C-alpha cells in the first residue's frame, strides 16, 4: 500500500505533494476568480464559493480528471463520485478561523425524512443534513491547494486518528484535544491534503497578506436511500 493510503487509514489524513502542475493551477485560479467576481461583484474578500462543481466547469473537470478521480476511487472504491466542491480562501480582507469540529453534514437537493438522518439545516439556499456515520465513513475530502499553505496562513490543524471514533460529543472532543497533539497540515501549491470527514480539524486565521485558496472536493462511495439526492453530485443518483 502506498504511504498515503496507510497514513489515511491510520491517521485520517495524508499529504500528497506536487500533484497538479503550475499551468493547471493557473487556469483553475483564473476560473475561480471569475466565478467569485460574478457571484458577488468583487474580486477581493470572497472567502468561500459553495457550489463549485456547478459554478465552475473547470472544477467539475478537475473532480473527474484521471489524476484526482482515480485517486478517490483507489482510496474509496470504484463507486466513488464527487458530491460537492467548495472554495475556501483566506486573505487579509476575508480572514477567518474555525474551531475543532468534524464534517458531519452532507448537502442534499430536497428534504426526505428518513430514520437516522438529522438534524436538518437550511442556510443560504443550501439544504444540509447529518447522515448516519456509516455514510460519513465512506466519504473522503480531497483538498487541492492553489497557494502555499504554511504555519502563517491558516493551515488545517488535525487531531490524528480521531476519525475512528464516530460522531463525537463536546466532552469527547475536549478530552481528545487534551490527549492528542495537533498536527498542522502544511501543503505547498499544487499539493493535496486527503482528509476523512470524521477527523477532528480546525484552522486559525491567517497572519499572512497572501491568499490561501483551497478547492475542497467531497467524494462519496455510497448512494443515499429512499429518494434522497446529493445536491451537487455530477453522477446520477
Ligand atoms: O479550510 C479551512 O481552513 C477549514 C475548512 C473546514 O473547516 C472544513 O472543511 O470543515
pLDDT in tens for each of the 237 residues of the chain?
689 999 999 999 999 999 999 999 999 999 999 988 776 544 445 578 888 999 999 999 999 999 999 999 999 999 999 999 999 998 877 788 899 999 999 999 999 999 999 999 998 788 999 999 999 999 999 999 999 999 988 899 999 999 999 999 999 999 999 999 999 999 999 999 999 999 999 998 888 888 899 999 999 999 999 999 999 877 654
pLDDT at position 1: 61
For a substitution probing ligand 1, which of 173, 201, 215 has the most ligand atoms within 8 Å of its CB? 201
Could you tell me which residues come within 8 angstroms of residue 42 by beta carbon, excluding any fewer than 6 positions away?
36
What domains lie within the chain, and their CATH numbers? 2-220 (2.60.120.620)
Could you tell me which residues come within 8 angstroms of residue 161 by beta carbon, excluding any fewer than 6 positions away?
10, 11, 12, 180
Cell 497538479 belongs to residue:
20
Beta pairing, strands 98-101 & 106-108 = unpaired
| Residue 212: strand, helix, or coil | coil
pLDDT at position 205: 83
Query: Do 62 and 21 meet the contact criterion of CB atoms below 8 Å apart?
Result: no
Closest ligand 1 atom to 201 CA = 7
Pocket residues: Cβ below 6 A from ligand 1: 88, 98, 103, 154, 156, 201, 203, 214, 216
Amino acid at each position: 500500500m502506498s504511504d498515503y493510503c496507510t497514513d489515511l487509514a491510520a491517521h485520517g489524513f495524508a499529504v500528497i505533494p506536487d500533484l497538479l502542475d503550475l499551468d493547471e493551477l493557473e487556469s483553475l485560479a483564473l476560473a475561480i476568480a471569475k466565478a467569485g467576481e460574478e457571484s458577488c461583484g468583487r474580486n477581493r474578500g470572497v472567502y468561500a464559493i459553495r457550489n463549485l462543481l456547478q459554478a465552475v466547469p473547470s472544477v467539475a473537470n478537475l473532480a473527474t480528471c484521471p489524476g484526482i478521480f482515480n485517486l478517490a476511487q483507489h482510496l474509496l472504491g470504484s463507486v466513488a463520485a464527487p458530491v460537492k466542491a467548495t472554495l475556501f480562501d483566506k486573505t487579509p480582507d476575508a480572514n477567518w478561523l474555525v474551531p475543532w469540529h468534524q464534517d458531519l453534514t452532507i448537502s442534499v437537493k430536497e428534504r426526505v425524512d428518513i430514520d437516522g438522518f438529522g438534524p436538518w439545516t437550511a442556510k443560504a439556499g443550501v439544504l444540509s443534513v447529518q447522515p448516519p456515520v456509516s455514510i460519513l465513513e465512506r466519504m473522503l475530502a480531497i483538498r487541492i491547494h492553489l497557494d502555499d499553505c504554511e504555519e502563517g496562513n491558516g493551515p488545517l490543524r488535525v487531531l490524528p486518528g480521531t476519525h475512528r471514533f464516530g460522531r463525537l460529543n463536546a466532552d469527547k472532543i475536549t478530552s481528545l484535544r487534551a490527549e492528542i497533539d495537533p498536527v498542522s497540515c502544511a501543503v505547498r501549491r499544487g499539493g493535496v491534503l486527503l482528509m476523512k470527514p470524521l477527523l477532528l480539524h480546525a484552522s486559525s486565521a491567517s497572519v499572512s497578506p497572501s491568499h490561501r485558496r483551497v478547492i475542497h472536493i467531497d467524494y462519496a462511495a455510497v448512494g443515499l436511500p429512499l429518494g434522497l439526492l446529493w445536491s451537487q453530485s455530477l453522477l446520477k443518483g
